Structure 1
């Protein structure tokens, strides 16, 4: 199943304090995204992809963990929540939610998990 703008918009509507939702590749490319206010989603995806790659390498090297399923980055004025996605493609994808610092992180995590469950846990790369 492809997670398109409709499903991402539904995710934004469900999570109070959400600013944007996007799908990105491990290489830092924006696949799909929606936002409530002007944000540079291409830059956000690229930066979070770099952090995710570094965390994956560090966890694999130090802890023997095969995957980093979630990553949380708290910044001034914005919080980035990244959740990895299983794909049919060898290209790893992730879901990124940008939130206000006051947003309910538990609600964001639950809504993200439900979205991926609704997608069957496996997301097809758009062609």
Structure 2
């Protein structure tokens, strides 16, 4: 899993940290290029994902939030729910978090994280 996260950092221009976390706010695995509190970042983004999920369920009738982008300065946070490509979804509480600078390429972040799901599926034993 660490290699997958490091690969994401290498592919996404402007990214300086990547992590897998749970919706309960626990850090599962993380890598970083500069000093950053990944445990706190995962906990905060988990809370935001839970709140977004609740808001979408209440107002739009869908509890499915797949991606969340928080654009701040000097940090941009991109969270994406971890989903298997097919079959059952036993890990629905996991998400990928990329922390980036404001100059980061958000298109690369979305594309690389989507492609990274294939590698993650192999790591956690999902059928591909």
Please report the TM-score for the alignment, with normalisation by the length of structure 1: 0.88
8 Å contact from structure 1 (residues 86, 92) kept in 2: no
Deviations 1:18-63 (A, max 9, x none): 0100000000000000000010000000000000000000001110
> Structure 2: where are the runs of 5+ without partners?
none
Which whole-Å CA distance do the structure 2 matches of 1:59 and 1:14 have between them?
31
Aligned Cα RMSD in Å?
A: 2.0
Q: Which residue of 1 aligns with 2:115?
A: 114
Which whole-Å CA distance do the structure 1 matches of 2:20 and 2:49 have between them?
13
Q: Which residue of 1 aligns with 2:15?
A: 18
Q: Which residue of 2 aligns with 1:105?
A: 106
8 Å contact from structure 2 (residues 70, 76) kept in 1: yes
1:30 and 2:31 matched: no
Distance 1:115 1:104, change over 3 A: same
Please report the TM-score for the alignment, with normalisation by the length of structure 2: 0.88
Q: Which residue of 2 aligns with 1:56?
A: 53
Which whole-Å CA distance do the structure 2 matches of 1:119 and 1:42 have between them?
20
8 Å contact from structure 2 (residues 4, 120) kept in 1: no
Q: Name the structure where strand makes up a greater proportion of residues.
A: 1
